[in-house]
Amino acid sequence: MTIQQLFDIQHAILQAPMVGAGSTDLVAAVSNAGGLGATGAAPMKPEGLRAHIREIREKTDQPFNVNLFSPASEMYDQSVKLGTKAKALLEDYHRELGLAELPEPRALFGPAEAQLDVLIDEKVPVISFHFGVEADHVHKIHAAGLKVISSATTIDEALTLEALGVDAVIAQGAEAGGHRGTFLGDYRQALIGTLALVPQIVDAVKIPVIAAGGIMDARGIVACRSLGAAAVQMGTAFLGCPETRIPPLWLSELKRSTPSRTTVTSAMSGKPARGLRNRYISEMESLDEPLLPYSLQYSMSVPLRKKALEIGNADFPTMWSGQGIQLLREIPAGELVSQWVAESGQLSTELAGIAI
């Protein structure tokens, strides 16, 4: 079965769900163009999530994907406290930006259990999970006649997801922007490039593989299809679309950066993620004491990041980005999908006659 048949879509192009970027307009634009639009719903409270899904449905009658973070990612070691050096650094930042006292650490995402109930109740056609998936969630989603997919960053993770019964696996290469989906072992051993990861996962599993990480245009799409991927999932490539509505500062920093500015760091959220390096990341990383667990670490910089974006200060905000950064096109998402489809067709024809 093709991905198009599995998800009832026209083109094998999935827009990556992106917490902190995107809108119902983006989801609808991609789905209306024949791809699979997606929303990153991890921070949404159940009733807000329900309203969000209904808003998507007002804008498209096509299938779409809603993404959650696995319940396992909500667990953390309660004994870890904010270190004295991190506290002093955050207090300095607050003084510098004229902010009040530091916030209390708090969990920013979930609860996935309650969010999933809304997705099932609203019959969201495709549900995706980052950081792994639970067997009973896969059963619940299938029992409701819906599809479930999840990210893998290693062959072991892909095999684990297949055994849990997901409909397709997203092979997330090291180039990818945003959080590493790693849920087994040390993330540093799971920083495998898309070119190496995709064909090995394709050979290891029987379910369709969706390639992700560094795919920015027809060249990446056709390359991943030739590696055996049934589809691609693209995130960074949509960050320049007007519907994505990332803060202007984030977009302008993306446009003036090269791939070497991206870095995989846990300093921002407490879990490894790829984004643009800035002062906050560098200074937080240089403290020789443990960070707070995910997502408490992330919660400590909420006021700081908000204020920095307001005043145009790039030292502090989160600016997730993949390594394909310089290939961004600032055009509407529907047009982007149509261009990729046309250019991929052309490129495949050209390659049919390639001599090696």
Of 21 and 304, CB closest to ligand FMN: 21
**241: contact with ligand FMN by CB under 6 A:** no
**192: contact with ligand FMN by CB under 6 A:** no
CB 333 within 8 A of CB 238: yes
Phi-psi region of 343 (alpha: psi -120 to 50; beta: other; left: phi over 0): alpha
Provide the 8-state DSSP code for 301: T
Beta bridge partners of 65: 38, 126
**18: contact with ligand FMN by CB under 6 A:** yes
Of 6 and 176, CB closest to ligand FMN: 176
Residue 313 CB, nearest approach to ligand FMN (Å): 19
Beta strands at 168-172 and 209-212: parallel, antiparallel or unpaired: parallel
Interface residue with ligand FMN among 35, 37, 40, 247 (CB under 6 A) is 40
**42: contact with ligand FMN by CB under 6 A:** yes
Of 320 and 340, CB closest to ligand FMN: 320
Which positions ≥6 away from 189 have C-beta within 8 Å?
154
Of 275 and 334, CB closest to ligand FMN: 275
Is 151 strand, coil or helix?
Answer: strand
**178: contact with ligand FMN by CB under 6 A:** yes
Sheet holding 168-172, edge to edge: 13-15, 231-234, 209-212, 168-172, 147-152, 126-130, 64-69, 37-40
Residue 262 CB, nearest approach to ligand FMN (Å): 9
**280: contact with ligand FMN by CB under 6 A:** no
**247: contact with ligand FMN by CB under 6 A:** no
Interface residue with ligand FMN among 25, 162, 167, 175 (CB under 6 A) is 175
**Residue 103: both structure tokens together:** 């916030």
Stretch that binds ligand FMN, among 97-105, 197-205, 288-296, 319-327 (CB under 6 A): 319-327
Site string for ligand FMN, 59-78 (x = CB under 6 A): --------x-----------
Residue 283 CB, nearest approach to ligand FMN (Å): 22
Stretch that binds ligand FMN, among 86-94, 97-105, 278-286, 315-323 (CB under 6 A): 315-323
Stretch that binds ligand FMN, among 86-94, 100-108, 174-182, 297-305 (CB under 6 A): 174-182
Cα dihedral value 131, 314, 282, 237, nearest 10:
40
Interface residue with ligand FMN among 11, 52, 130, 137 (CB under 6 A) is 130
Helix extents (H) in 78-233 = 84-96, 112-121, 135-143, 155-164, 194-204, 218-226
Strands (E), the chain: 13-15, 37-40, 64-69, 126-130, 147-152, 168-172, 178-179, 209-212, 231-234, 262-265, 273-276
**Residue 292: both structure tokens together:** 């707070």
* C-alpha span between 132 and 333 (Å, rounded): 28
**240: contact with ligand FMN by CB under 6 A:** no
* C-alpha span between 218 and 216 (Å, rounded): 7
Of 33 and 210, CB closest to ligand FMN: 210
Which positions ≥6 away from 318 have C-beta within 8 Å?
20, 268, 269, 275, 301, 305
Residue 191 CB, nearest approach to ligand FMN (Å): 13
Beta strands at 168-172 and 147-152: parallel, antiparallel or unpaired: parallel
Interface residue with ligand FMN among 272, 303, 324, 334 (CB under 6 A) is 324
**212: contact with ligand FMN by CB under 6 A:** yes
Interface residue with ligand FMN among 235, 247, 272, 317 (CB under 6 A) is 235
Distances (CA, A) of 146 to 6, 57, 63, 89, 241: 10, 16, 11, 46, 29
Stretch that binds ligand FMN, among 49-57, 184-192, 209-217, 296-304 (CB under 6 A): 209-217
Binding site for ligand FMN (CB under 6 A): 16-21, 40, 42, 67, 130, 151, 172, 175-179, 212-215, 233-237, 320-322, 324
